[in-house]
Chain A
Amino acid sequence: MLSCLSAAEYKRLDPHLERVLLKFGQTIYHSKAEIDYVYFPENGVLSIVGLTGSDKPIEVGLVGSEGFAGLPLFLGVPRSANEVIVQGEGTAQRITAKAALAEFARGGSFQNAVLLFAHELFLQVSRVTSCNRHHETEQRLSRWLLMMRDRVEDDTLPLKQEFLSWMLGLRNQAIGRAALVLQRTGSIKYSRGSVKIINRITLEQRACPCYRLMKSRNDGWPEQVKSRRVSRLS
């Protein structure tokens, strides 16, 4: 997302950017905690987690290089309503809340990109409201693996079964059973602590339509981000 900015905007932000490692399971924001930095994942993946108080945390959205974490800040709320944790290891550029807000207030393409991402994220989360209601474990697990794959850009994903069962709001055994089905049909190879995607096509066939619907919205964007990033680095 950062690589879509104009040269002038990037130049203003650049001195404030700091590259940080995202470690699997690390909490970026606790619920209700102050948003001190805005995080722009480069190849890491952040999970926006819903909390109810009496249940395990559950994932309501995923953010990779197409977006950022810290949206409430730009909407006038300096603290995170949801918890945000690292779901896929990698790196992110982070910037202080103050510097991000100053650039946002200028109203240029940074503001446009922030607001458009807010819209995309809103759609993703509203899709999850219906996916969580209507789709089967296997479909949802397939969708989740594909969404992760698109953001991590690696076929091997770390997967802790218990953690994933919370994220998808399922029992541990249900995840295990669904993963076994996906493995038997040759879509994935599943071992302790990781999943390797063997056949993307069959996995897409098993996923609910939500995957395609969410992806088509974002299409073009990650590609655009990638190409610009390459041109900037070269």
Chain B
Amino acid sequence: MGSQARCLVLALLLLSPALLSKSAAAQTPSAAEIARGKYIFGATGGCGCHTVPKEPVNAGGRKYDGPFGTVYSSNITPDRETGIGSWTDEQIITAIRLGRRSNGERLVPVHPYTVFNGMGAEDLKPLVAFLRTLPAVKRANQPKKITVPMFESVFLPAWLAAFAPRETPPTAVPTSGPARGEYLVRAVGHCGECHTPRTMTMATDNSRFLAGNPKGPEDSEVPNITPDKATGLAWSEEEIADYLGTGNKPDGDVAGGLMGEMIEGTLAGYKDLTKADRLAIARYLKTIPAVKNKIGK
């Protein structure tokens, strides 16, 4: 072996630990990234649709009845057989945002991918990293029962193309100000899924964004949270921020039902948002158009 070759081998030997550790670092998310993922997980309300109350977190199986049939939420724990353990990060992000499974199958939009499409990549990657740190639970997904003929092949793609409003991903995740509030409300917190009334086609009617839904999920009447004085949310910014952090309403009542679940979350919820983020949400809610829409008697 010539001296040049010896030098090359030596250089490679010296460099290889550095190269290895660099590639390992790229694969292993840092504690800060996982913490950011947990924060985003909380900002979605703890992905609570994927957890049956008091059962293993993210193991799926929660039932949702819709006009097209019945679906059950999926197991999103890192179990390789029944969960998302064998999916790549890109496949998981595609499912969250574009509503496609790793096998190309389309998700039923009970999972609000048209809204989550507005989430930034800087938040989605840590979210996936966090999901991977949770305990794997072996629980097979329950098959959906679709009653509408040709629902997935014809109706759903047509509905998505013609009616469903789709959020646009930001070029960079806003970090402060009303833009931050808008991002948290419209995309991550997916508030409109329950608080925005729906049209005849069951798409959210964003011309009346957050104006309340008399027929919300689980047969609940979901309040109008636009700033309309007579029928909307009359609380101050501070009161809204307090409510999201504590569940306490200004009149002494407390959050309950699905909103109670969102605030409490599973491993994290709205309650874990920083005061700055809760205030950003409150400020944004004061800027949206007031819509007169009385919900309930």
Co-assembled chains A and B? no
> A residues bordering B, Cβ < 8 Å?
none
